[in-house]
Structure 1
Amino acid sequence: MISYTWLAWLVSLLCLPLLYVLIDTLGGLRGKHHRGIATPHPPVEDFTVLVPIYGDVRYLENVAYLAEYGARVVLCTTASETPAFYAALDELSAVHGFRVFRGTVPVTQANAGASGRRATSGTIRDRLIRDALQFVDTPTVVCIDADTTTTRPLQELVGTFVGNQFDFASVRLIPSNTDRLLGRLQAYEYRLSMQMRRIAPWMVSGACHVARTPVHLEVMRRHSLFFQGNDVEAGIIASALGYRVGHIPFDVPTTVPDRIKPWFRQRLAWAGGEFRLFALNLHLARRHPWFWAYGTLITLVGLPLRWASASHPAWPLAALAILYFGGCLYLHYRHRGWTLLLLPFYTAFNSLVMTPLGAVWYAVMAVRDRNPGIIRTRLTRYPAAASITQARELLAIEALSTDTQILPVVPSRARPIEASH
């Protein structure tokens, strides 16, 4: 008869490491073999591209790419930028036919990014998108970052989106700079994350996503405007409202930070956003139980246990490392390389170090922006709107019984699009 001591040793050596690996890789395994993805459809020309740009015009790195879409592009900026900024933006708009939207932002956040660093918090980006949507008169809108491009024309993305009758959709991001070690490690990370979007399409990315304009307006009207996790929040709200949220395997190359300092700064902000989603929005667990069980129980609550295991190396930790590497090798076998050997250590650093720092950084962001980032899910969906005009009218009717401010709506113009709130 096996003694309790040996039984406990066997469980700790084999069962627990296997359980941890399965929990950490199950989403990727399900996504890898999931076949329910969007089917291609003919291109569609009727859409608008919203591009947030503020602080410094040099952040607009995809000008040549956007030039192909001319007047479809709306550059969304603030009404608090410098004269030099406006002069440079107006020059680009005149050359390429872009339109410009200028929205007001809180005084405390004006000229964000003028210091030469990209903003990683605040409400500016989502305020601009929310306000600019009121002037969009096309049925579909594509939101894209100022440093993002696509491998195929956006007409194909919109055509697939419309043909599959989606209301909101995520796309497939691919790191474009993989020459350095950090870039290659993030390529593995992104690949796994994109596979998970097959089963959780509401995990949209701010770098690029597509939506029906009335739906996006309704979603942003309810958005907390918290910067970190803002993209996933939009997908969560759209899903909570009962809209059809899907994933389109449309490749979107994106630049990732491949040097330690900018990478650490980005991941610190991301960790703060994850803490916001999992710790401050536990009510979402009933809608997405597996996702929140992983993020809350495994990532946050299990942090002391992970540190205890790492602080006292033993056979279970070695078994965990071996099993985890085996899972990574299976998931990334087609793209295997020597850097895959470092992926478990990269993941462990994120888990052990960035997770607790994220809790601290969330507090910094929440206090600084006076915004806790609570996501509302007790939502009443408005009747389906056939046009953006109907959506605006429905929003105005709903506001009569609440204390929510409805922003003034004026007809959109060729160039510029401006509003004062």
Structure 2
Amino acid sequence: MTTSLAALSAATLTAAPTAAPTALVFLAVVAVPVLAVAVDALASLRARGRVYAFAGTRVNSDFEVLVPIWGSIRYLENADHLAAHGNRVVLCTPAGESDDFYTDLYALAREHGFRVFVASFTAPRTGGRRATSGTVRDRLIRDALNLVRARYVVPLDADTTTARPLEVLVGELERQGADLASVRLVPLNSDTLLARLQHYEYRLAMQFRFLASWLVSGACHVARTEVLTDVMSRHSLFFQGNDVEVGLIARALGYRVAHIPFEVPTTVPGSLRGWLRQRLAWAGGEFRLFVVNARFVTRHPWFWVYGGVVTIALAPFRWLALDDAAAGVALVSSLTVALVLYVVLVAYLHWDHRGPALFLVPFYMTFVSLVMPLLGGLWYVRMAWQDRNLGVIRPHLVRVEPRAAEPEAGRVGQYV
């Protein structure tokens, strides 16, 4: 999941009546917007100058790649890319899939030399759509980890490829002496305006990993096998926010979490419908992380104040300000000041990657910050009810180990 940097949303927190004292008008029109944009600016400017050089050509081949796949074989889009890794690739799938699915999966595995792990549980039907909730993905990773024998492991989504060989990523983790590392997601498509806007959003969010390396991306990360096995045994299995939960649990257990800007191309939604579906799910995951698990504020106070207080808790006040006719002038002025400041900030941060869409970014982020925080709670409740899972993170509560597999036709719970 990608953490959105949209602090300008706080610009409408305070709207002073026209008859208010001068100090309050100044607070509403100037101070609040400046402080709001400063939240983004502080993190962004600190991270902007961070550069990274990979340590020569150091590589490590002692790893396995776990690729969750279920529902439809067409979701497995990176088979050709992974073919070079042969039997180090494990296709992880649940029991109860169709005979046609297994036939195609095993044929593809034989073609590329992959192995297959079939878990002992079945996945709920999604009507042919990709899942945006549920426990299947994390249960597959958790169960398959118990059979991994390599020292390192790379969970990788079925539609994800990498710009460099995975041996470089694993070698860099070993060189740093880290236990777990986040990577850099890079949007692949730019065919629509919406996709181009997300390029700027992702760029800021990924740069922020230099300051908060535990913001792990679910599409790809790397870890020592024993560490990820320990972390996943304590995981809530709640899908949205599951990636950041991995980083939070690892940090809480005292493991060393690093950031390696190893580029992982990813396809971002190009249509409004696809984008909205994704963002609603992300908003539900953010509510789960920032509100349901607010006790982590003591470990990461700046991050939680930003996400839990500025972005979510104060969101209703931004809408209340819109209904206050007496605050109309101050509100417009406040928004104008915030937008102008944010245009300057965005232009400075992204000038080397500038394009026509750049100056639309503040308006895009304003829309996201006004709408998504209010819907996030509803989507969290919907997902929690659907999966019967509140997503409470308990780093020090060891979950019950997966029950022993019951082989079905020589497949279930085994590598083949």
TM-score (norm 2): 0.89
Give the partner amino acid of 2:210.
R
Is 1:286 matched with 2:301? Answer: no
Higher relative contact order (CA 8 A, sep 6+): 2
Segment drifting more, 206-215 vs 326-335: 326-335
In 2, the alpha carbon distance for the partners of 1:125 and 1:233 equals: 14
**Alpha-carbon displacement from aligned partner over 1:378-411 (angstroms, at most 9, x marks no partner):** 46xxxxxxxxxxxxxxxxxxx7xxx83454389x
Equivalent in the alignment of 1:376:
394
1:272 to 264, 284, 299: 284
CA contact (8 A) 2:47 2:208 kept: yes
Task: Pick which of 138-147 and 12-21 moved more.
Answer: 12-21
Shift of 1:4: 7.8
CA RMSD of aligned residues (A): 2.2
In the alignment, structure 1 segments of 5+ residues that lack a partner are 380-398
Give the whole-Å Cα distance in 2 for the aligned partners of 1:4 and 1:177.
Answer: 49
Task: Give identity over the alignment, percent.
Answer: 52
Q: Deviations over 1:53-83 (max 9, x none)?
A: 0000000011110111111100000011010
User: Aligned to 2:221, what secondary structure does the other structure show?
Assistant: strand
Q: 2: distance between equivalents of 1:281 and 1:302?
A: 18
Does 1:344 find its partner at 2:344?
Answer: no
Residue in structure 2 matching 1:165, options 156, 165, 177: 177
User: 5 Å matches for 1:20-419?
Assistant: 20-34=36-50, 39=55, 42-105=58-121, 110-113=123-126, 115-310=127-322, 312=328, 313-378=331-396, 404-408=400-404, 418-419=413-414
| Displacement of 1:341 | 1.6
CA distance in 1, matches of 2:385, 2:53: 40
Secondary structure, in 3 states, of the residue corresponding to 2:138?
A: helix
The C-alpha deviation readout for 1:180-238, integer Å capped at 9, x for no partner, is 11111111111011011001000000110000000000000000000000000001000
Alignment CA distance shift 1:238-1:63 (3 Å) = same
How far off is 1:358 after superposition? 1.4
Paired positions, count: 388
Which residue in the other structure is 1:392 paired with? none
Gap change, CA 1:309 and 1:124, over 3 Å in 2: same
How far apart are 1:327 and its partner, in Å?
1.4
Contact 1:42 1:159 in 2 (8 A): yes
Counterpart code for 1:228: Q
- Residues 349-368 of structure 1, C-alpha deviations (whole Å, 9 max, x = no match): 21111111111010011011
Q: TM-score, normalised by structure 1?
A: 0.88
CA offsets per residue over residues 268-314 of structure 1, 9 Å max, x none? Answer: 10100000001100110000000000011101111022223455442
Kindly indicate whether the alpha-carbon contact (under 8 Å) linking 2:186 and 2:264 is maintained by their aligned counterparts in 1: yes
